[in-house]
Structure 1
């Protein structure tokens, strides 16, 4: 089944796609942070939280759950906090992650208010 067959509106489809991108960016960032010499524990924890929340939110959207708006809000908040943390680091993986998460937070907020 293609994503477009899930009968999501444009806002929902964008949010789901952004969640998938956030999962990938956060998993990559967290893994790369493990190899950094400085303490990156906060970044790793936040990335893991966002990856899990985004995955759950995508599943909730796929099944048209009544709880999707609340999870969209939680995902947006976590993505914003993680993006802020990642943007503090000069590492490429952190900068890419921050950019992806800003987009994810915005689309999740749009989804929550739709």
Structure 2
């Protein structure tokens, strides 16, 4: 079912859900790539894994109209910004792409929060 079919979703919530799932993909890719760089990117890997989990949960809670979705969106935005800041410290393409996706996600999550 397309998000447009869920009539209880606002445009902001639909954008948040889409952005969260994109963040999950970017974070999982970045974390996997960071694993090959050892200690240099260990912190980035950990942030990406945590952020991927939070973004997935945020998307699920928004989709079901949870009464906690605004708090979850705020937490997700914070995690995205923290992770993006970490990714920005690395010159790897996967880190730069991830940071960009996460900043977009944070913006959409803040619109829900």
TM-score (structure 1 length as normaliser): 0.95
CA RMSD of aligned residues (A): 0.9
Q: What displacement does 1:37 show?
A: 4.7
Distance (whole Å) between structure 2 residues aligned to residue 14 and residue 62 of structure 1: 11
Q: What displacement does 1:38 show?
A: 4.8
Distance (whole Å) between structure 1 residues aligned to residue 85 and residue 6 of structure 2: 32
Q: What displacement does 1:40 show?
A: 1.1
Q: Match of 2:101? A: 100
Deviations 1:41-85 (A, max 9, x none): 110110011100000011101110000000000000000000000
Q: Secondary structure at the match of 2:37?
A: coil
Q: What displacement does 1:36 show?
A: 1.4
Give the number of equivalent residue pairs: 112
Matched, 1:110 2:111: yes
Structure 1 window deviating more from structure 2 (77-86 vs 32-41): it is: 32-41
Matched, 1:69 2:70: yes
Q: What displacement does 1:5 show?
A: 1.3
Distance (whole Å) between structure 2 residues aligned to residue 83 and residue 56 of structure 1: 18
TM-score (structure 2 length as normaliser): 0.96
Tell me, which stretches of 5 or more residues in structure 2 are unaligned? none
Tell me, which stretches of 5 or more residues in structure 1 are unaligned? none
- Which has a greater percent of helix? 2
Q: After the TM superposition, which segments of 4 or more aligned residues of structure 1 sit over 2 Å from their partners?
A: none
